[in-house]
């Protein structure tokens, strides 16, 4: 089932990048349109919240050479993003923002 979803691999980071300022960028890669289906919305929320939980774990700093700067999560999507998916991401932006983590959609 997971391989048919645009957001996959809930148990790992897609891409991790260390910034020169000591922060870290965590990338969620979309493999298709972010439609408004329950399965897609659930996948987005699950992946984002797994990233947040992992970033808050004590071993995160050592594992990714995280130097205590800010943590940013980027959902990278080169496909259509439904209004329902945008609404969910806006809600998640607020929620994770209260935990000191930045969430943003990037499309190219």
pLDDT digits (tens, 9 = 90+) for 18-49: 888 888 999 999 999 999 999 999 999 999 99
pLDDT digits (tens, 9 = 90+) for 40-99: 999 999 999 999 999 998 888 778 777 778 899 999 999 999 999 999 999 999 999 999
Count structural domains, the chain: 1
- CATH number of the structural domain spanning residue 52: 3.30.750
- The 3-class SS string of the chain reads CHHHCCCCCCCCCCEEEECCCCCEEEEEECCCCECCCHHHHHHHHHHHHHHHHHHHCCCHHHHCCCCCCCEEEEEECCCCECHHHHHHHHHHHHHHHCCCEEEEEECC
| Domain ranges, residue 76 | 2-106
């Amino acid at each position: 089932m997971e391989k048919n979803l645009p957001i996959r691999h809930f148990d790992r980071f897609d891409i991790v990048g260390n910034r020169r300022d000591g922060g870290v960028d965590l990338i969620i890669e979309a493999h298709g349109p972010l439609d408004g289906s329950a399965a897609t919305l659930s996948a987005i929320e699950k992946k984002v919240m797994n990233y947040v939980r992992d970033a808050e774990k004590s071993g995160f700093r050592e594992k990714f050479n995280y130097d205590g700067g800010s943590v940013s999560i980027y959902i990278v999507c080169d496909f259509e993003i439904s209004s329902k998916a945008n609404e969910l991401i806006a809600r998640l932006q607020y929620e994770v923002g209260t935990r000191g983590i930045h969430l943003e959609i990037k499309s190219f």
